[in-house]
């Protein structure tokens, strides 16, 4: 039996004292989120046969005992409550000097004490830490439970960094069953999150029963089918032909709210307004601006013009809805959305224009502010406060509103400077519907890229705010938007383990965070996730491949990285078989021509994840700077090198394409040295719903001085546009070999979008791929 305590030792991470001389290993304390102060002691506590628990005699926290006992139900250890006066193994002690949610956990060789104030949340979080100190096997229901638990002697003093530690479930786009919600609440509780934001209504579904308006669920919770693939990938749109329906009854909501409350989680409902309201207007079109539209529950994902009309009967309807919602949810906050509200209908609506004139408003943006103010006043009269997405800043912020900043941090910074409470949830750091692994090979996600380490690195307190202004930022939130998440299993895949990284962002003080240390603890937590039945992504055990031109060495280097600690990466070049006999990765791989790198992670000879691969292109243009006239509309990665970074784009993701929206584009590129060249290759993208069309002409010219250019070849381009999905069209031009130092491309875009296609008659976008010169 081990007689020493094992703990991760990082200089600035813990307050440590250790009374033995044995080595300290980084594999024992696998606590997530990391407590903010740990003192290691000698010895351990062994629990066998029975664990006695005592609580204050006047305690109303009996649910804590029931919760703890239930966690240990699979062990052979009897958990019994005894009187406060009788010595017990585990004692709950009220200490009102501790802040809300703070706790002290002290384990010695003969007892456990958890201290918290009498609000109870601290006791609950102390229990979660205690459970994580126990072996994972206590959770294993597939075999007979363990009969002995060994706990390290340790003292922990802990409190959260932020009071608001949230996660959002989008159940409007794709309904998730009540059981999935309850399971997610359990996982949130384990990792000390305390706010569940439920996005209950949107264009694709209304998911909560409102008794006064039964058609909201009779009509609004049902759609006949759902689009296939990305919203801008297929033309015409493709649909799966599968009916989707579902909503939570008010009894379901009561159960969810109580279940969360028992785990010290507040459920915040979101009733989206004034936009994202197609499902509600399909049920009650009289609350729209009319305009001859046929309202329906939307089957695809986009921003639609269907919005609530700010008429008195609309406000009466929304107040009725919110009255029932407020009765169901005791949350101080009611989320009213407020994002992505098109003004097209309001601009055409005579009632809206009359209201603008009557209220002395400048424009439709101020009309949206008027709308939000009306709703806030009603919610405030009910004793509650509103949260809105950062668009509610437009036209003037409602007086008592809290802003949820999603379009970056700009809205949150502005609101904090105005002394409004802010919840930071910028998409680039907090949107878990983004890809967490290479989009070329990953399951369908909405786009962008948010790997585990980027989540962990997020700091919700912008440096540009003063300390006082930072105090208005009450927390941060992970958002799991549901457009492409249709099953509970995929919901979990996109959420975990990134939610564990977010839990540490929310709880652990910035000075105590360390990603390498986190990966050591996370590696052990995967076993817990398995026992909890969570379908977590295993990208943690894969290899991420990145390639870049090194201007110092004038070589193209491929770097391999895995999050999995204490492992070895093996790789091969242009060989899809990777074993421990392959090359072990120790430094960046140099490639001098087009190549595909295959790689896998091994631990003591055992493969940890799947073989991943990435293709790179290396030629005379690779790594070279260029000038675009005009500048790109977007250059998603490797700005300034997006066309020469050695990475080709692919049709199902916009990540590695450089986009323009002008008819004529000129690109001037300087080679490293004078070179003989005879071929140029690139690719154009066709995604008609993204109004992206391929070039109709390309011309190449060369120069030795960068001033006088000689045209080498112009090529008119035609395409087979019979495919109905996004397509990558490679284009190559060959010409007599010539010496060149400068290369100029002149590209004509796809021109005006043809009739019959999305945004017909408008100027199309052009998406250009890697420029390759040989």
C-alpha–C-alpha distance, residues 254 and 460, integer Å: 32
Asked whether 120 and 113 are in contact (CB, 8 A), the reply is no
Pseudo-torsion of CA 633, 639, 644, 650, nearest 10°?
-60
Q: Quick count: other Cβ atoms within 10 Å of Cβ 155?
A: 17
Tokens in use for 125?
A: 């979080």
Instruction: Please count the CA atoms within 13 angstroms of the CA of 684 that sit on its side-chain side.
Output: 25
Asked whether 315 and 321 are in contact (CB, 8 A), the reply is no
Show the beta-strand stretches assigned E in 609-706: 612-616, 626-629, 634-635, 658-660, 664-686, 697-703
To the query of whether residue 504 is one of the catalytic residues in this protein, the response is no
C-alpha–C-alpha distance, residues 681 and 486, integer Å: 39
Tokens in use for 141?
A: 């229901």
522 burial (CB, 10 Å; 0-12 / 13-18 / 19+) is buried
Q: Of these residues, 84, 319, 340, 366, which one is catalytic?
A: 340
C-alpha–C-alpha distance, residues 131 and 129, integer Å: 5
Helix (H, G, I), strand (E, B) or coil at 738: strand
C-alpha–C-alpha distance, residues 165 and 541, integer Å: 27
C-alpha–C-alpha distance, residues 643 and 635, integer Å: 9
Contacts of 716 (CB under 8 A, 6+ apart): 696, 697
| Among 232, 244, 238, residue whose Cα is nearest residue 205 | 244
Tokens in use for 416?
A: 């904090």
DSSP codes, 283-334: H-GGGS--TT------SS-S--S-----SHHHHHHHHHHHHHHHHH---SEE
Distances (CA, A) of 338 to 180, 276, 348, 403: 27, 9, 20, 10
Asked whether 403 and 425 are in contact (CB, 8 A), the reply is no
* 101 φ/ψ angles, rounded to the nearest 5 degrees: 75, -10
Contacts of 325 (CB under 8 A, 6+ apart): 208, 210, 269, 271, 334
Instruction: Please count the CA atoms within 13 angstroms of the CA of 166 that sit on its side-chain side.
Output: 27
C-alpha–C-alpha distance, residues 69 and 178, integer Å: 24
750: preceding bond cis by omega (within 30 degrees): no
Q: Which residues are catalytic?
A: 340
């Amino acid at each position: 039996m081990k007689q020493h305590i094992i703990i991760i030792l990082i200089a600035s991470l813990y307050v440590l004292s250790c009374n033995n001389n044995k080595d300290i290993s980084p594999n024992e304390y696998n606590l997530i989120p990391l407590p903010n102060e740990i003192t290691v002691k000698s010895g351990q506590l062994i629990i066998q046969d029975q664990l006695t628990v005592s609580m204050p005699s006047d305690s109303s926290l009996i649910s804590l005992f029931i919760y703890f006992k239930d966690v240990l139900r699979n062990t052979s250890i009897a958990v019994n409550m005894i009187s406060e006066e009788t010595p017990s193994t585990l004692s709950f002690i009220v200490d009102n000097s501790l802040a809300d949610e703070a706790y002290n956990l002290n384990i010695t060789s003969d007892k456990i004490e958890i201290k918290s104030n009498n609000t109870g949340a601290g006791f609950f979080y102390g229990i979660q830490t205690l459970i994580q100190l126990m072996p994972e096997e206590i959770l294993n229901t597939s075999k007979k439970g363990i009969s002995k638990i060994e706990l390290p002697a340790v003292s922990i003093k802990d409190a959260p960094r932020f009071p608001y530690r949230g996660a959002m479930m989008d159940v409007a786009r794709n309904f998730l069953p009540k059981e999935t919600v309850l399971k997610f609440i359990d996982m949130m509780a384990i990792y000390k999150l305390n706010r569940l934001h439920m996005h209950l209504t949107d264009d694709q579904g209304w998911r909560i029963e409102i008794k006064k308006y039964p058609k909201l669920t009779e009509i609004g919770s049902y759609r006949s089918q759902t689009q296939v693939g990305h919203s801008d990938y297929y033309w015409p749109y493709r649909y799966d032909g599968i009916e989707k329906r579902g909503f939570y009854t008010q009894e379901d909501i009561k159960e969810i709210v109580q279940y969360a409350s028992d785990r010290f989680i507040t459920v915040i409902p979101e009733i989206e307004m004034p936009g994202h309201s197609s499902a509600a207007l399909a049920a009650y079109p009289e609350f729209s601006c009319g305009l001859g539209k046929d309202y329906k529950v939307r089957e695809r994902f986009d921003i639609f013009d269907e919005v609530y009309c700010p008429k008195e009967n609309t406000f009466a309807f929304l107040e009725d809805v919110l009255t029932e919602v407020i009765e169901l949810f005791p949350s101080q906050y009611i989320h009213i959305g407020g994002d992505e509200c098109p003004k097209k209908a309001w601009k055409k609506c005579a009632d809206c224009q009359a209201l603008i004139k009557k209220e002395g408003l400048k424009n439709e943006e101020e009309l949206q502010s008027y709308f939000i103010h009306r709703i806030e006043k009603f919610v405030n009269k009910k004793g509650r406060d509103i949260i809105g997405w950062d668009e509610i800043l437009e036209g003037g912020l409602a007086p008592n509103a809290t802003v949820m900043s999603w379009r970056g941090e700009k809205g949150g910074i502005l609101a904090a400077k105005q002394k409004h409470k802010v919840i930071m949830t910028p998409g680039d750091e907090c949107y878990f519907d983004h890809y967490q692994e290479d989009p070329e090979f990953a399951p369908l996600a909405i786009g962008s890229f948010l790997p585990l380490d980027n989540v962990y690195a997020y700091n919700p307190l912008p440096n540009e705010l003063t300390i006082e202004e930072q105090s208005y930022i009450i927390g941060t939130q992970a958002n799991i938007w549901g457009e492409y998440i249709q099953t509970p299993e995929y919901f979990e895949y996109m959420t975990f383990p990134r939610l564990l990284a977010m839990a540490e962002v929310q709880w652990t003080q910035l000075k105590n965070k360390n990603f390498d240390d986190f990966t050591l603890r996370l590696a052990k937590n995967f076993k817990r996730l398995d026992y909890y039945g969570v379908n977590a992504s295993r990208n943690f055990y894969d290899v991420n491949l990145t390639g870049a031109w090194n201007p110092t060495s004038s070589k193209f280097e491929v770097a391999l990285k895995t999050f999995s600690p204490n492992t070895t990466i093996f790789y091969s070049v242009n060989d899809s078989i990777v074993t421990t006999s392959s090359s072990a990765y120790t430094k960046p791989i140099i490639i001098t021509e087009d190549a595909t790198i295959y790689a896998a992670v091994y631990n003591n000879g055992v493969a940890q994840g799947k073989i991943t691969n990435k293709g790179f292109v290396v030629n005379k243009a690779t790594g070279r700077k260029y000038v675009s006239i005009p500048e790109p509309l977007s250059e998603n990665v490797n700005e300034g090198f997006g066309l020469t970074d050695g990475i080709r784009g692919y049709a199902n993701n916009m990540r590695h394409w450089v986009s323009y929206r002008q008819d004529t584009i000129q690109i001037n590129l300087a080679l490293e040295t004078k070179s003989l060249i005879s071929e140029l290759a690139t690719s154009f993208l066709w995604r008609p719903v993204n109004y992206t069309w391929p070039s109709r002409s390309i011309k190449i010219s060369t120069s030795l001085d960068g001033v006088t250019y000689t045209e080498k070849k112009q090529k008119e381009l035609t395409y087979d546009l019979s495919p109905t999905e996004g397509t990558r069209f490679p284009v190559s031009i060959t010409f007599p070999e010539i010496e060149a130092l400068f290369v100029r491309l002149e590209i004509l875009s796809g021109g005006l979008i043809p009739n019959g296609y999305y945004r017909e008659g408008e100027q199309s976008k052009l998406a250009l791929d890697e420029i390759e010169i040989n």
